[in-house]
Amino acid sequence: MAEEIKQEAPKKFKVTIDNISIEVPPGTTILNAARMIGGDIVPPTMCYYTPLKESGGKCRTCLVEVSKGSDKDPRPMPKLVASCRTTVMDGMEVKNITSERALHARQGVVEFLLINHPLDCPICDQAGECDLQDLSYGHGEEGSRLDFPKRTFTKHDLGPYIQLHMTRCIMCYRCVFAADQLTEKREHGVLDRGYHSEIATYIEKALTNDFIGNVIDVCPVGALTDKTFRFKNRVWFTRPEDAHRDCDKCCGKVTLWKRGDEVLRVTARKDQWNEVQTYEDGTVGWICNECRFEKKNTSDWIIEGPTKVSRHSVKSVNHYINMLKPKETIPEVMGRNPKLLLDIHSVSEVNDPSIHLSKINGPATSKTFNKLIENKE
């Protein structure tokens, strides 16, 4: 038996997800195989976080249907499985967006996640880069069937850096794993059980560890946010720039979120799945509290350039780098001149097509444009 496994080890497993096949090394999860393929077939995740060991399996948004177990055992799996924690078998066939069952279950999970969520996006600092927002736009229903008061909690103060909004929490346990794996001693955790379970520090202690700030980055919703950035700005008005500094505690590679020349917020660099980046040498880009909370001057940092925002989130709004403009004009497409549409550039003095929008900081006002036009002239 053991020898057989050894012989099979270097072999690659073929897995088919939504009729797209890919060969992956054994031990890969369905989710990671889907991420290798990319596109619409990637199941959404709320609790799984690649750099955190043992994370995943809790939120149930990544449920997929396994219609064929493997070549050896072609029986389908009776229940939907959590793709983030199920490893692929050779010849496995998985249905994600082609499975009505999986989509229905996901819709149900989104509803469960949202019924007690306060939906206070207009005043939430996470809005614009929130996984739950993306998820509910993608899979949620409009309206809520809940007609009871939502769950509330006693407030806990987590110290000068981290703001806790327990009502927004979806109990993904990511911050617990992050604190377990990044800090020597975890000072916060899940208290209570079931409906009343909450993230808190039992003895009302401030979270002080050097790396505890990373719980803000791993939080998929606005439950743990940066107190130094609180109510300062909206995410989509800020401009992300990659920067680094020599830090003796961490890798020092960060993203600065700027408005004008002011650094409003510092976070670790995220990849396209909104997870903290793992660099080529295998190190994960966690950053220390000093980099995150104390270094808020441009002079502290060596700026590398604008961050590429590849995610389909709201925060990519206003960052029109590499945007492709259609070659055809509207009359060409329609075959006639539109009656109700008018070219705003021809009637407005504010909008000047010769100025690239990415050159403008924040929302455009007539003042900004006038200044830019004056400068150009």
Partner 1 sequence: MGVKLLLEKAHVEGIRTYEVYRREGGYRAAEKALKTMSPDDVVEEVKKSGLRGRGGAGFPTGLKWSFLAKPEGIPRHLVCNADESEPGTFKDRYLMEYIPHLLIEGLIISSYALGSNNTYIYIRGEYAWIVDILEQAIQEAKNNGWLGKNILSTGFDCEIYVQRGAGAYICGEETALLESLEGKRGNPRIKPPFPAVQGLWNRPTVVNNVETLSAVVPIINITGEEYAKIGVGRSTGTKLISACGNINKPGVYEIDMTISVEEFIYSDEWCGGIKNGKRLKACIPGGSSVPILPANLLLKTAKGETRYMNYESLNDGGFVSGSMMGSGGFIVLDEDQCIVKHTATLAHFYRHESCGQCSPCREGTSWMDKIFQRLESGKGKMSDIDLLWHIQFNIDGNTICPLGDAAAWPVAAAIRHFRDEFEWHITHAEEAQKRNYGLAHYADPLPIVQ
Q: Which residues bind partner 1 (CB under 8 A)?
A: 56-61, 63, 79-80, 82, 85-87, 105, 108-109, 111-113, 115-116, 145-146, 148, 170-171, 173, 190, 192-197
Residue number, 57 or 306, with CB nearest to partner 1 = 57
Closest approach of Cβ 153 to partner 1, in Å?
Answer: 13
- Does residue 204 come out as left (phi exceeding 0), alpha (psi in the -120 to 50 range) or beta? left
Amino acid at position 239, single letter: R
Closest approach of Cβ 97 to partner 1, in Å?
Answer: 17
Q: What is the DSSP string of 55-89?
A: --SSS-TTEEEEEE--SSS-PPPSS-EETTTPBP-
Residue number, 85 or 319, with CB nearest to partner 1 = 85
Give which of 58, 56, 80 is closest to 67, Cα–Cα: 80
Task: Find the length of the chain.
Answer: 377
> How far is the first Cα of the chain from the last one, in angstroms, to the nearest whole number?
79
Is residue 187 helix, strand or coil? coil
Closest approach of Cβ 202 to partner 1, in Å?
Answer: 13
Is residue 40 helix, strand or coil? helix
Residue number, 98 or 116, with CB nearest to partner 1 = 116
Q: Burial of 1 by CB count in 10 Å (0-12 exposed, 13-18 middle, 19+ buried)?
A: exposed
Residue number, 55 or 255, with CB nearest to partner 1 = 55
Give which of 265, 261, 259, 264 is closest to 239, Cα–Cα: 259
* CA–CA separation, 242 and 267 (whole Å): 10
Residue number, 113 or 314, with CB nearest to partner 1 = 113
* CA–CA separation, 36 and 315 (whole Å): 24
Closest approach of Cβ 59 to partner 1, in Å?
Answer: 5
Helix axes 131-139, 100-115, angle to 10 degrees: 130
Q: Are 292 and 182 in contact (CB under 8 A)?
A: no
Element of type H or E holding 267: strand 262-268
Residue number, 194 or 326, with CB nearest to partner 1 = 194
Residue number, 9 or 146, with CB nearest to partner 1 = 146
* H helix count then E strand count, the chain: 10, 13
Closest approach of Cβ 364 to partner 1, in Å?
Answer: 41
Is residue 218 helix, strand or coil? helix
Residue number, 113 or 224, with CB nearest to partner 1 = 113
